[in-house]
Chain A
Amino acid sequence: MKRYYSVLLLAAVIVIIQVLTLITGKAYLLTQLTMSAYYIVVAVGLCMVMGYAGQISLGQAGFFAIGGYTTAFLTTIDFSGKAETGLYRMLDTPGLLITKETLYGDTIIHLTPWISLLAAVLIAAVTAYALGIPILKLKGHYLAMATMGFGIIIYRIVLGSRIFGEADGISNVPSFPVFPGISVSGDFTSRISNYYIAWLLVILGMLLLINLINSRVGRALRSLHGSEEASDAMGVDTSRYKVIVFVIGAVFAAVAGFFMTHYNGGIGPSEAGVAKSVRYVAIVAVGGMANLWGSLIMGLVLNFLSLRGVFGHFDDAVFGIILVFMMMFIPDGFIHTDVIHDIKEMLRPLSMRKKKLKKKQEVSND
């Protein structure tokens, strides 16, 4: 039970933030908070891949785009006027089609997003699995470039294909009815419910990952990160676990892409760009690599500030600076898993800390 306290705390903070924005009349901030939540889902998924399995992925935006473009493509096919076709009847009978009226009074019949969610998850998982088996045998620079190559392939495909809208992307993506009466969309009236849906997704993701870390898989991953050879020798099927985590990271990214696309009502090729992938890596790096909560908090702070336009023209530069300086000076990240220990350490008298530091140095000198 103890491991879920932090999740409960997160839930409380989410509610408090919502109430605060309501009281201060700054409900417009919820839009950026919702979008940050979806980016956080990508970041915590990548955190598993980078931090816990120790495998770099510079292609996470590619999986995000797979999720987003799959649903955008599938749910914008208009079935009205195709009522006679066999496909229509096949989809209509189990109630998989949604009829909607547009702004101009035309009716559009489209596929329910539940099907495209399934498709998005499946495509991302299969792609990650097929890609992961060969490339996760690589290490370091080779793996970095291979995953980055994958990201660029996805980017080029969506940018160069007419069915994906080329440089314009796909717009007019319908809303996603999660529960009856509540749907994921950029509608102003449903801002609060969307905020909660997004953060519910984050909480679900966190619960899944926390359980995973504390399971047999998590222990295997930790040994893998420590030393691949050693854990191999201990009988851990390292390549299998690496692929599993890679697939999990990909599915997290694809689900985030799916929700974001329905929330924004569209997706463009920039979501698949290398710059986005680098951004996710930056967030995980600042969060302290093997630290889900660090990724969550830094993901929230950085994405929120970036989406609010606080960095202005220096948006990319800020992420560059963060990458360089974090790695040079604070490679373990700002936020530690054991916050209470950190605070205790800070409160201890300086002389005692110095003594400990000296001891540490002596040990490392040997």
Chain B
Amino acid sequence: MSGEQTLQYIFAGITVGSIYAFVAIGYNIIYNATGIINFAQGEFVMLGGMIAYTFSGFMPLLPAVVLAVLITSAVGSVIESVFIRRMRKTSVLGMIVVTIGISILLREAALYIWDEQIRALRFFTGSEISSVSILGARISPQVLWILGITTIIVAGLFLFFKFTLTGQAMRACSENLRAAKLCGIRTDSMVNLSFMLSAGIGALGGCVVSPLTQTHYAMGTDLAIKGFIVAILGGLGNAIAAVAAGLLLGLIESFSISILPMAYKDVISIIILLIILVVKPSGIFGSRQASSMKDY
């Protein structure tokens, strides 16, 4: 494998890895606030791409993306207030079943609103043939957009959770919901906010990657499991580690294609998931001490 080719694979891996990271960040935000894994997370990415595509037909790209993010956030908020809020006392099993049900409903709704066609948002700068040369490898400028937006989101989240009062309140909810309530935090709206936030971030991810990876109504299931692998790999609840893990998985998948048939790409990442779950469920960046306190 030549140096240029290796670099090409690396960039391809980073692109795919970023979208996994978007999904994993979404998982983490909701998990932190509620302890729920939202199986419908992949559908938010799909909705973002689809809505932005529709709006971009008659308006510039920026407002279309903003509208897509806002609408998907609203969908996330509605899902929380209509379904999740009523189910506080449900078992984990019940919660899994409900979020799976919601993901099916979102997917089917998308199928009837749009159709089975694969769509792609137009490129943020340039077109599908324009490319930037970095160290001899030629990549699409969209890859730079993806990397830039991923960085901004991670930095933004870090600052939000560290320094704003709302962010701190959300972290308090994840520590102990009841204690947070007793301290006067409106836990209901914090949980709702977490759904809005993760839906919005998922939608934004869906918009940025759409020009390269396309948007399809049934793309959510694959993304959901890949995002979960990444979230577990980084340690559930850790958004920054999720990005590192996302890039790692993206690179592994990208290089696996050069050795194994394309069809087995998913098999490799799922085997990684099974190994991680069995060997170290706290993730590669999780501490062993903290994991001994938790129940997997």
A-to-B contact residues, CB < 8 Å: 50, 54, 56, 58, 134-135, 137-142, 144-146, 148-150, 152-153, 156-157, 159-161, 274, 278, 281-282, 285, 289, 313-314, 316-317, 319-324, 327-328, 331
Contacts and interface: CB of A to CB of B under 8 A. Distances in A.
Contacts of A144: 37, 96
B108 A157 contact: no
A156 B263 contact: yes
A54 B105 contact: no
Interface string B232-267: 100000000000000000000000000001011011
Contacts of A328: 83, 86-87, 98
Nearest first, the 3 A-B pairs at minimum CB distance are: A160-B263, A323-B101, A320-B104
B267 A156 contact: yes
B221 A160 contact: no
A275 to B, nearest CB: 8
Contacts of B225: 145, 148-149, 152
A93 to B, nearest CB: 39
Nearest to A140: B92
B108 A320 contact: yes
Nearest to B264: A160
B96 A140 contact: yes
Contacts of B105: 317, 320-321, 324
A58 B98 CA distance: 14
A139 B296 contact: yes
Contacts of A274: 221
Interface stretch (B9-17, B158-166, B274-282): B274-282
20 contacts: A58-B100, A139-B295, A140-B96, A142-B232, A142-B277, A145-B228, A150-B270, A157-B264, A160-B261, A161-B263, A281-B97, A282-B101, A317-B108, A320-B102, A324-B98, A324-B102, A327-B87, A327-B90, A327-B97, A331-B94
Contact of A314 (B108, B270, B274): B108
B96 A56 contact: yes
Contact of A317 (B90, B104, B296): B104
Contact of B278 (A134, A139, A153, A159): A134
A246 to B, nearest CB: 15
A153 B267 contact: yes
Contact of B266 (A142, A152, A281, A317): A152
A323 B108 contact: no
Most buried by B among A50, A149, A321: A149
A28 B90 CA distance: 42
Contacts of A157: 264, 267
B271 interface: yes
B93 interface: yes
A282 B264 CA distance: 29
A137 B274 CA distance: 12
A323 B281 contact: no
A285 B102 CA distance: 15
B273 interface: yes
Contact of A327 (B94, B112, B295): B94
Contacts of B229: 149
B104 A50 contact: no
A255 to B, nearest CB: 25
Contacts of A50: 93
A146 B112 CA distance: 31
B278 A149 contact: no
A205 B82 CA distance: 39
